[in-house]
């Protein structure tokens, strides 16, 4: 007798329906899994055998053949343990099969029959909703993620025995619920950064419009402190943005036990030794740091120390908001809409231009250091800011600095203006505007357009650079509460574009 259950395979951040077929034949006992299974799936036979015995059931003493269809999609991960076990039990007549095609089953089995969390619970739940299934049954540790999907019942189970009793109608399963949203209190505050009014202004503009930011200055001037605190002034994510970010983190297996929704904007700060796979995505088409920063901030400290090849591959995501991974196993698209915040020293020793410390670098060393950052990459960074060393007067000043909550209030007000302005567009902030869109949205005055045209000629701005200056000017106008971009807004935007085109 053959039986079929429904499971799902996660590729990238998307899930694909998989039919798990089990067939029993009166031959020498052996279990075979076919249908392009990875080693983690092939090894599941021993876990499943022990789990079934622990559930006080008997594993069939027959030839057991498991087929995972469609056979051209590679099946990876341990989430197939539960559906395979149920298919085997249904084929043996130990559980009724009438519910198996109405629900999606997912979960890893321990030797004792307990269900363990698996990555990708949220996209699997989305798949169940798209296919019109009655619900999804999954481990209690990750069930809160599935509860986020509207109009889908997510059933939480702690063991194989619980699922078997539920299928027999002899015991209940708990319906999963997601905890109420609650934004955590920030441990950091922008008020902790002493001085640096220009850099703080740039951080506020970057947060208000989603603009990329480059901070260049000597060691100890506060570049890293500023970057770490940009997350404290970013506006709260909408539910749709939370759902997008949670889907990526769910696939990566980074969601904490019992957490259904990623409520705070991600802040990812990879080390400069990171590989291409680590930043953009691995050989298994899994998300990298650039995707884990989706809807948040990607901070690259010591930017010139990163591999040039790695940095150049960021140009696509910065422009398109997605990463396309093409491997022998397939091609996937990973979401990657983030604000890039980068920090760099002006030279290898870090003290070029510093009045208090002599620079020990020769011209050739400085030139090689600057050449690590290409023009096309720098052209995609909207705000270039030179951060000077902080003097002792600012460090010991008793004048209070502006806290994050006050800056965030202005940022949120500017974002609300942008949300209303782009209600009919698939974007959420000024940085995501295309060229034609930004010219229409800016509504620049005639003097402002003339100033920008003159600056473009004098500074040799590219078409992309021109549009990015206009986007920044649009954000500055939003912070001022102006509907049109005026001369003063363009002038400030140009000053940030012209501060530094390379780390000097």
Residue 489 domain flag: no
Query: Does 409 score more than 60 pLDDT?
Result: yes
Q: For 169-179, write each residue's pLDDT tens digit.
A: 998 999 988 77
Question: What letters, b where the CB count within 10 A reaches 16 and e where it falls short, cover 189-216?
Answer: bbbebbbbeebbbbbbbbbbbbbbbbbb
**Higher pLDDT pick, 503 / 275:** 275
Distance separating alpha carbons of residues 474 and 480, to the nearest angstrom: 10
Beta strand 108-109 pairing with 115-116: antiparallel
80 with 130, same domain?
Answer: yes
The pLDDT-based confidence of 281 (bands split at 50, 70, 90) is confident
337 with 258, same domain?
Answer: yes
Residue 181 domain flag: no
Contact 426, 440 (CB under 8 A): no
Which long-range CB contacts under 8 A does 467-470 form with residues at least 24 apart?
467/433, 467/435, 467/438, 467/439, 468/211, 468/379, 468/380, 468/382, 468/497, 469/382, 469/493, 469/494, 469/497, 470/438, 470/439, 470/442, 470/444
Task: Extract the tokens encoding 228.
Answer: 């770490």
49 with 171, same domain?
Answer: yes
User: Is the N-terminal amide bond of 336 cis, ω within 30° of 0?
Assistant: no
pLDDT of residue 182: 57
Task: Extract the tokens encoding 91.
Answer: 């084929």
pLDDT of residue 181: 60
Q: What is the mean pLDDT of residues 379-401?
A: 85
Q: What is the mean pLDDT of residues 142-148?
A: 91
Residues of the chain with pLDDT > 70, as a percent, come to: 96
Distance separating alpha carbons of residues 53 and 45, to the nearest angstrom: 12
Query: Does 501 score more than 50 pLDDT?
Result: no
Q: How many domains does the chain have?
A: 2
Phi-psi region of 463 (alpha: psi -120 to 50; beta: other; left: phi over 0): alpha
The pLDDT-based confidence of 436 (bands split at 50, 70, 90) is confident
Distance separating alpha carbons of residues 437 and 76, to the nearest angstrom: 42
Residue 22 domain flag: yes
261 with 378, same domain?
Answer: yes
Distance separating alpha carbons of residues 43 and 81, to the nearest angstrom: 10
pLDDT of residue 19: 95
Q: Which residues contact 340 (CB under 8 A, 6 or more apart)?
A: 212, 213, 297, 298, 300, 314, 318, 381
Nearest of 84, 100, 1 to residue 49 by alpha carbon: 84
Q: Which residues contact 216 (CB under 8 A, 6 or more apart)?
A: 223, 343, 344, 345, 346, 384, 385, 386, 387, 500, 503, 504
Residue 371 domain flag: yes
Residue 184 domain flag: no
Picking from 378, 408, 424, the residue at the C-terminal end of a domain is: 424
Q: Which domain holds residue 395?
A: 190-424
155 with 207, same domain?
Answer: no
CATH code for position 149: 3.30.230.10
Query: Does 131 score more than 60 pLDDT?
Result: yes
Q: For 71-89, write each residue's pLDDT tens digit.
A: 888 898 899 999 999 999 9
Residue 493 domain flag: no
Beta-strand ranges (E) seen in 62-201 are 63-69, 103-105, 108-109, 115-116, 135-139, 153-157, 174-175
CATH code for position 323: 3.40.50.300
Query: Does 424 score more than 60 pLDDT?
Result: yes
Q: Which residue has the tokens 């591959």?
A: 313
Q: Which residue has the tokens 């990973």?
A: 334
pLDDT of residue 297: 96
DSSP state of 265: P
Q: For 322-377, write each residue's pLDDT tens digit.
A: 998 887 767 888 999 999 999 999 999 988 888 788 899 998 999 999 889 999 99
Q: For 31-69, write each residue's pLDDT tens digit.
A: 999 999 999 899 999 999 999 999 999 999 999 999 999
Task: Extract the tokens encoding 333.
Answer: 């698209």
The answer to whether the Cα torsion of 325, 326, 329, 333 is positive or negative is positive
Q: Which residue has the tokens 């951060």?
A: 387
The pLDDT-based confidence of 25 (bands split at 50, 70, 90) is very high
Mean confidence (pLDDT) of the chain: 90
**Residue 11 CA, distance from chain mean position:** 16
**Residue 53 CA, distance from chain mean position:** 40
pLDDT of residue 502: 45
DSSP state of 116: E
What are the CA-CA distances from residue 153 to residues 103, 128, 173 (Å)? 10, 10, 11
**Residue 145 CA, distance from chain mean position:** 16
Q: Label each residue of 175-227 as H, E or C.
A: ECCCCCCCCCCCCCCHHHCCCCHHHHHHHHHHHHHCCCEEEECCCCCCHHHHH
Distance separating alpha carbons of residues 205 and 18, to the nearest angstrom: 47
Picking from 175, 200, 218, the residue at the C-terminal end of a domain is: 175
Q: For 212-268, write each residue's pLDDT tens digit.
A: 999 999 998 889 999 999 999 999 999 899 999 999 999 998 887 767 788 889 999
22 with 57, same domain?
Answer: yes
Residue 479 domain flag: no
351 with 247, same domain?
Answer: yes
Picking from 424, 445, 480, the residue at the C-terminal end of a domain is: 424
Q: For 440-495, write each residue's pLDDT tens digit.
A: 888 899 999 999 999 888 888 888 889 999 999 999 999 999 999 999 999 999 99
Residue 158 domain flag: yes
Task: Extract the tokens encoding 448.
Answer: 């402002």
209 with 133, same domain?
Answer: no
218 with 165, same domain?
Answer: no
Q: For 296-305, write each residue's pLDDT tens digit.
A: 999 999 999 9
406 with 296, same domain?
Answer: yes
pLDDT of residue 394: 76
pLDDT of residue 69: 94
């Amino acid at each position: 007798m053959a039986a079929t259950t429904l499971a799902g395979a996660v590729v990238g951040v998307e899930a694909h329906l998989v039919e798990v077929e089990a067939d029993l034949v009166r031959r020498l006992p052996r279990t075979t899994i076919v249908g392009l299974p990875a080693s983690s799936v092939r090894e599941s036979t021993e876990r499943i055998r022990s789990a079934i015995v622990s559930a006080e059931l008997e594993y069939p003493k027959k030839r057991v053949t498991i087929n995972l269809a469609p056979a051209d999609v590679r099946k990876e991960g341990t989430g197939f343990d539960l559906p395979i076990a149920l298919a085997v039990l249904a084929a043996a007549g130990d559980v009724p099969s009438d519910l198996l095609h109405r629900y999606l089953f997912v979960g890893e089995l321990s030797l004792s029959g307990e269900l363990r969390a698996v990555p990708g619970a949220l996209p699997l739940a989305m798949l169940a909703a798209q296919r019109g299934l009655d619900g999804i049954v999954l481990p209690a540790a990750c069930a809160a993620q599935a509860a986020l999907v509207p109009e889908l019942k997510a059933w939480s189970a702690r063991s194989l025995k619980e699922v078997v009793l539920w299928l027999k109608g002899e015991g209940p399963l708990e319906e999963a619920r997601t905890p109420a949203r609650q934004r955590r209190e920030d441990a950091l505050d922008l008020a902790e950064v002493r001085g640096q009014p220009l850099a703080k202004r740039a951080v506020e503009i970057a947060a208000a419009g989603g603009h990329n930011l480059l901070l260049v200055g000597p060691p100890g001037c506060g570049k890293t402190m500023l970057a770490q605190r940009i997350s404290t002034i970013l506006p709260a994510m909408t539910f749709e943005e939370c759902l997008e970010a949670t889907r990526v983190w769910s696939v990566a297996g980074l969601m904490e036990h019992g957490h259904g929704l990623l409520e705070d904007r991600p802040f990812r700060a990879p080390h400069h030794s990171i590989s291409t796979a680590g930043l953009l995505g691995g050989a298994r088409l899994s998300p990298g740091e650039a995707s884990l920063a989706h809807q948040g901030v990607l901070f690259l400290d010591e930017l010139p120390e990163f591999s040039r090849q790695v940095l150049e591959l960021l140009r696509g995501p910065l422009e398109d908001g997605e990463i396309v991974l093409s491997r022998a196993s397939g091609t996937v698209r990973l979401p990657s809409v983030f604000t890039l915040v980068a920090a760099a020293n002006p030279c290898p020793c870090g003290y070029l231009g510093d009045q208090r410390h002599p620079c020990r670098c020769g011209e050739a060393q400085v030139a090689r250091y600057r050449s690590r950052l290409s023009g096309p990459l720098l052209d995609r960074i909207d705000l270039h800011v030179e951060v000077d060393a902080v003097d002792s007067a600012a460090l010991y000043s008793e004048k209070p600095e502006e806290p994050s909550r006050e800056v965030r209030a202005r940022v949120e007000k500017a974002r609300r203006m942008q949300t209303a302005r782009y209600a009919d567009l698939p974007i959420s902030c000024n940085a995501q505007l295309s060229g034609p869109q930004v010219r229409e949205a800016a509504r620049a005055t005639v003097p402002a357009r003339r100033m920008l045209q003159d600056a473009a000629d004098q500074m040799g701005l590219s078409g992309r650079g021109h549009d990015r200056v206009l986007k920044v000017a649009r954000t500055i106008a939003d912070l001022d509460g102006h509907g049109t971009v005026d001369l003063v807004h363009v002038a400030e935007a140009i000053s940030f574009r012209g501060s530094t085109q390379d780390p000097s």
